[in-house]
Chain A
Amino acid sequence: MESKIVLQDIEKAYGKDAPVIENLNLEIEDGSFTVLLGPSGCGKSTTLRMIAGLEQETGGVLKIDGKDMKEVKPGDRGIAMVFQNYALYPTMTVKENIEFGLKNCKVPKAEREERIKEVSMAVGLEEYLNRKPSALSGGQRQRVALARAMVKKPEVFLMDEPLSNLDAKLRSQLRTDLIELHHKLGSTFVYVTHDQVEAMSMGTHIVLMHKGKIMQQGSPYKIYHDPDNVFTAQFIGTPPMNVLNLNDISHEYCPFAEAAYIGFRPEYAVLLDESAAIPETGLTIPGDIVTHEMLGTETLYKIDTKYGRVQVKIFDEATIVDGRVKIFVPNERLVYFDADEQRLRLGEDKWMQN
């Protein structure tokens, strides 16, 4: 059974207010780990809840496996959802929590026991089956929530920021667990987060949203290295891409007449002595180093230039530069955006060569 999710011209409005989502078109491939990424209020959670059927779209068509979901109840969509705050039933034990959906589906007792045993083994909860959720830690609770979703053997897993209530260490562990789980089950995962690290590390397909619109979608690699617009360039990457207003800068190599912004990733810049010769053609801007942060394998410099503050990541941790420097970025590492902050491209697939 396929479980491709298709959203066509989806619109969502609350009451008489202007719609929060308009003309949303999205295809979520069967078996993909699709991440809906964006800042808070961008409509990613709303989109997920519409797929789940917890919110009704006010326009457009939503299909799962080719079937229109308009009249289909959340329980009948072949999906399971993991909530940010776990949404465990506090009055039930762990086992009852996992069993509740199966009971409602009238699964016979023997099979229920079998399936509960199987999932609780998979997420490491066998010892806690008779506990109440209040007696569990955050990580354990989220495992129960995961088990409750898995036990239903859904075609699609929907996850709404499931890791954001956990501490950093647990988060990275559960991230690995989720990737493994996705490999093992082969089902479609739709995952909502505002954390680009989560998106980049887990997603096979990232959908970056902003103010109810899709800004860009693609593989983590493409999203990072080939941004379609300034928003994507600055949302993805820590630190984000440096984007400077091109009008102030004398840059004779710019290939586009209509270019308004120039951008480069912090790791592609080189710091040179003020007096050093420029090695090849590219962008050169002078600046003063404000701070440097030793981050282990790399050092992050914050440099004030007359065009604004620029961040540069240098992987040579031995020499710390200070004072006045020249920032140099080779031509092939520069990207250009027009006045509408949209990307300007020379030819197709230029990013592939980089």
Chain B
Amino acid sequence: MDAKLNGKNLLEVPVSIRNTAKTNKKTFSMEGVGRKAIPYVMIAPAMIISAVFMIYPIIYMVYLSFFKWNMIGDMKYIGLENYLSLLTDSDFIKVLLNTCQFTVGTVAGFIIFGLLLALYLNKNTKINRFLQSVVFTPYVVSLVSIAFIWMWIMDDNLGLLNYVLNFFGIDSVKWLSDPKIAMWSLVLVNIWKGTGYYALIFLSALQSIPSYLYEAAELDRAGRITTFFKITLPMLSPTMFFLVLTGTIASFKVFETINIMTLGGPGNATNTLVYYIYEYGFKYYKIGYASAVGVVLMVIVGLLTLIYFGVLQKKVHYQ
């Protein structure tokens, strides 16, 4: 689409050349073909990379999802059987629900803690400027390191968390080995890592709300709570919408934390879509089945993205 547009513009610029091209209409003009090709050549590197690493794998994944294959033997076409077994597989349903639980918990945490932090940091003092970089630090650190550190903190016997609990006379909690708690522990780690980023985005949105609106509200006798819910929150809604959606999409694709901290366990308690795909693809070598799960994940993320762009276009543009 863009390439065509560029081509058109390029054609329109040199008027004199165009005129000569017109007079030579009947003879085949190398020059004309060259000019038409330029924009395609320009975007070729980007297109080739995305074709090899994105478009081809996606098509191949959809193709594979109709086969039974263990990566070594012959591929056997089985139609929709992979998808049908997905629907009846209680493990898959459990994994899907786990993923939703993780996503809702993480995104809610991001939004609530991110907003609270941003509101707290909104006053522009020296300490706050320092704190801004402090809360952002976890976001910069590699997730792998963070996962290892938290694994240690949450260790049943030697962990810092349980040490502190015991110190106050509270019984140890099996942070990562209790099926009822493990998922929430992972949510906690992710919130801890990501909140700084959310706070920073909220903070910049807060600071872009013009101060005269608050002055007008003050003159209109709006109290602090009214001002927050009638002025601040509505003004933040576009940002919040953006963060909820990008957060949801990212959470649906969670992998590292689980791969390092729980391996999907205990039982299947912390298994999520991407880890499930990894297990089936690279542990059990059921490539067809893993691809079918991959297609489901792609559809979910794709739908979320569509919703995002759909709403974004309708979104009211303030002033």
Q: Among A53, A73, A100, A105, find the residue whose CB has the most chain B CB atoms closer than 10 A.
A: A100
Across-interface contacts of B14 in A (CB, < 8 A): none
Contact indicator B216/A87 (Cβ below 8 Å): yes
Whether A282 sits at the interface, judged by CB under 8 Å, is no
Known contacts A83-B212, A85-B212, A104-B226; is-contact A90 B219 (Cβ 8 Å): no
- Interface residue? A54 (CB, 8 A): yes
Contact A75:B317 (CB < 8 A) given known A90-B235, A91-B234: no
Q: In the complex, A105→B210 CA distance in Å? A: 24
Instruction: List the B residue with the shortest CB-CB distance to A52.
Output: B219
Task: Contacts A85-B212, A87-B212, A89-B213 given; indicate if A80 touches B316 (C-beta within 8 A).
Answer: no
**CB neighbors of A among B219-256 (8 A):** 219-223, 226, 230-231, 234-235, 237
The yes or no answer to A127 lying at the interface (CB within 8 A) is no
Which of chain A's residues have a CB closer than 8 A to the CB of B213?
A: 87, 89
Contact indicator A76/B319 (Cβ below 8 Å): no
Q: How far is the CA of A270 from the CA of B212 in the complex (A)?
A: 50
Tell me the complex Cα distance, A238–B185, Å: 74
Assuming the contacts A134-B316, A134-B318, asked whether A81 and B221 have C-beta atoms less than 8 A apart, the reply is: no
CB distance from B195 to the nearest CB of A (A): 26
B263-319 residues with Cβ-Cβ distance < 8 A to A are: 316-319
B218 touches A75 (CB 8 A): yes
Task: Please give the distance in Å from B208's CB to the nearest CB on chain A.
Answer: 12
Judged by DSSP, the binding face of B is helix
Complex CA–CA separation, A133 to B317 (angstroms): 11
**Residues 81-119 of A at the B interface (beta carbon under 8 Å):** 81, 83, 85, 87-92, 100-101, 104-105
Q: Is the CB of A101 within 8 A of B317?
A: no
Q: Are A134 and B317 in contact (CB under 8 A)?
A: yes
Q: How many residues of A contact B (CB 8 A)?
A: 27
Categorize the interface residue count of chain B. Answer: 20 to 34
The smallest C-beta distance from B223 to any residue of chain A, in angstroms, reads: 7
Please give, as numbers and ranges, the residues of chain B lying within 8 Å of A208 by CB-CB distance: none
* A54/B319 in contact, CB under 8 A: no
Most buried by A among B213, B218, B220, B226: B220
Q: Residue A101 contacts which of B215, B219, B235, B318 (CB distance < 8 angstroms)?
A: B219
B234 surroundings in chain A (CB, below 8 A) = 91-92
**Quick one: which of B166-218 are within 8 Å of A by CB?**
210, 212-213, 215-218
Interchain nearest-CB distance for A185 vs B (Å):
18
In angstroms, Cα B218 to Cα A76, docked, is 10
Cα(A53)–Cα(B215), bound, Å: 10
| A101 lies within 8 A of B221 (CB) | yes
Q: Which of B210, B219, B226, B317 is the one whose CB lies under 8 Å from A80?
A: B219
- Cβ contacts under 8 Å, A52 to chain B: 215, 219
List residues of chain A with CB within 8 A of the CB of B317: 134
Specify which chain A residues have a CB less than 8 angstroms from the CB of B220 in the assembled complex: 75, 100-101, 104, 148, 152
- The answer to the question of A171 belonging to the interface, with a C-beta cut-off of 8 Å to chain B, is no
Given contacts A87-B212, A91-B235, A100-B230, contact A75 B316 (CB under 8 A): no
CA gap between A80 and B215 in the complex, in Å = 11
Closest CB in chain B relative to A74 CB, distance in Å: 5
The CA of A80 and the CA of B220, in the complex, are separated in Å by 8
Taken together as a complex, chains A and B put the C-alpha atoms of A134 and B230 apart, in Å, by 17
**A302 within 8 Å of B (CB atoms):** no
| Complex CA–CA separation, A73 to B216 (angstroms) | 13
Which residue of A75, A91, A148 is within 8 Å of B221 (Cβ)? A75
Chain B residue numbers with a CB within 8 Å of A105 are: 221
Q: What are 7 sample pairs from A and B whose C-beta atoms fall under 8 A apart?
A: A54-B219, A81-B219, A87-B212, A91-B235, A100-B220, A104-B222, A105-B221
15 new A-B contacts, CB < 8 A, other than A53-B218, A75-B221, A101-B219, are A54-B215, A73-B218, A74-B215, A75-B219, A87-B212, A88-B216, A89-B217, A90-B235, A90-B318, A91-B237, A104-B221, A104-B222, A105-B221, A133-B319, A134-B317
Residues of B whose CB lies within 8 Å of any CB of A are: 210, 212-213, 215-223, 226, 230-231, 234-235, 237, 316-319
Please list the 8 inter-chain residue pairs (A to B) with the smallest Cβ-Cβ separation, ordered nearest first: A75-B221, A91-B234, A101-B220, A90-B318, A87-B212, A87-B216, A104-B221, A74-B218
